[in-house]
Amino acid sequence: MIKDIQNDIIKLKKEKDVCILAHSYVAQEIKEIADFTGDSFALAVKSANVPQKTVIMCGVRFMAETVKILAPEKRVILSNPIAGCPMAEQMDRELIEQVKEQYPDYAVVAYINTTADLKTICDVCVTSSSAVEICRKIDSDKILFIPDINLGSYVAQQLPEKEFKLLSGGCPRHAMISEKKVLEAIKAHPKAKVLVHPECKPEVVKHADYVGSTSGIMNFAKESKDREFIIGTEISIAEELQYECPDKKFYPMAKDLICSNMKATTLVDVLNCLKGTFGEEITMEEEKRLQAKKCIDEMIRLG
Ligand code: 13P
Ligand code: SF4
């Protein structure tokens, strides 16, 4: 049954000149039919250069918006209209405009998990894989980092020479992991290396042997000579690693760390997007798109 739907998708996407992009957190059966799978940074960079006329983004809304910003000539379909990212909705343009007035000499660095509207007033975007490098390179020693306080704290710790102002936003899923959970996992698997996403709280991150994006965590685990790993991010990463590296052992740090938004898209949704009966086409005013594009272009230039 799954194979049949996958075969229909593969046939239709070729006939209709469609590229399917999938974030690493979506269901495995979707990643199997995707043309490209990766973390937020890789998906953003890839989307600007795909040859197909239509892109179906299997992920969350801000990712589909990013594709539209970078490739306005393409039809961009969000695979399931309910798939938002709670963090991206936490702060709006009006709020950040007020904060900017209080800190006029700070560069505004926005995690890519923000709306297109908010990106229009930011100086540069970052992803979890590029945040430290971009904050290091940007031509300002004062940084207002939005919206993720945990990623912001991690970056600030790596760059003590810069001054950071953080606001209290973040990923509700990653923030669920407590220090107690990490210590329990380490006690249960003392030989395992601890790999953690920087959206986790600082008291969790401090126990990590490696901190990085979803792709960073996967690459680290695949290339490592170690055999056991505790994975501190969405559960699909531990599952995929276990599938790809059967000779190693992967333990999810929290079995309930599931992003329901990333999991909102089903294989049938993707098929229906291709048939034109489901999904949401992303549209954007040209002025807003050009404003938002500046900080994504800056991210790609510095990243
Ligand atoms: P990365 O894709 O940068 O690892 O971020 C994870 C995430 O939460 C995406 O929303
Ligand atoms: Fe948003 Fe967190 Fe889900 Fe990523 S894991 S999409 S930050 S809610």
* Domain edges within the chain: 2-84+262-283, 87-171+290-302, 177-252
Q: Which CATH architecture has domain 177-252?
A: 3-Layer(aba) Sandwich (3.40)
Residue 127 near ligand 1, beta carbon < 6 Å: yes
Nearest to 91 by CA among 40, 149, 131, 43: 149
Q: Rounded to an integer, what distance in angstroms lies between the CA atom of residue 257 and that of residue 202?
A: 17
With 90 as the cut, is the pLDDT of residue 48 above it? no
pLDDT band at 261 (very low <50, low <70, confident <90, very high): very high
Q: Does the pLDDT value for residue 40 go beyond 90?
A: no
DSSP code for 110: E
Q: Cα angle vertex 194, ends 193, 196, to 5°?
A: 145
The pLDDT of residue 58: 98
| Ligand 1 atom nearest to CA at 43 | 2
- In the prediction, which pLDDT does 32 show? 97
In this predicted structure, the answer to whether residue 85 has a pLDDT above a threshold of 90 is: yes
41 has a pLDDT exceeding 90: no
For ligand 2, atom 5, which residue shows the shortest CA distance?
259
Q: Determine which residue's CA is closest to atom 3 belonging to ligand 2.
A: 259
* Ligand 2: nearest atom to the Cα of 87: 1
| pLDDT tens profile 163-212 | 999 999 999 999 999 999 999 999 999 999 999 999 999 999 999 999 99
Q: Per-residue confidence at 303, pLDDT binned at 50, 70, 90?
A: confident
**Is any ligand 1 atom within 6 A of the Cβ of residue 261?**
no
Which pLDDT score is estimated for 47?
A: 87
Q: What is the pLDDT of residue 115?
A: 97
Kindly tell me the burial class for residue 98, based on how many C-beta atoms sit within 10 Å of its own C-beta (0-12, 13-18, 19 or more): exposed
The predicted pLDDT at position 218 comes to 97
Q: Whose CA is nearest to atom 6 of ligand 2?
A: 85
Separation of CA 22 and ligand 1 centre (Å): 12
DSSP string, 74-92: SEEEES-TT---GGGGS--
Pocket test for ligand 2, best of 39, 171, 213 (most atoms within 8 A of CB): 171
- For residue 44, pLDDT beyond 90: no
Distance from the CA of 120 to the center of ligand 2, in angstroms?
Answer: 21
pLDDT for 227 beyond 90: yes
What mean pLDDT do residues 29-52 have?
92
Q: Ligand 1: distance of its center to the CA of 40 in Å?
A: 5
Q: What single-letter DSSP state applies at residue 176? A: G
CATH topology of domain 2-84+262-283: Rossmann fold (3.40.50)
Asked if domains 2-84+262-283 and 87-171+290-302 share a fold, the reply is yes
Give the mean model confidence (pLDDT) for residues 63-76.
96
148 ligand 1 Cβ < 6 A:
no
Read off φ and ψ for residue 167, nearest 5 degrees: -110, 160
Query: 3-state class of 43 per DSSP?
Result: helix
As assigned by CATH, the class of the 87-171+290-302 domain is: alpha beta
For ligand 1, say whether the CB of 234 is within 6 Å of any of its atoms. Answer: no
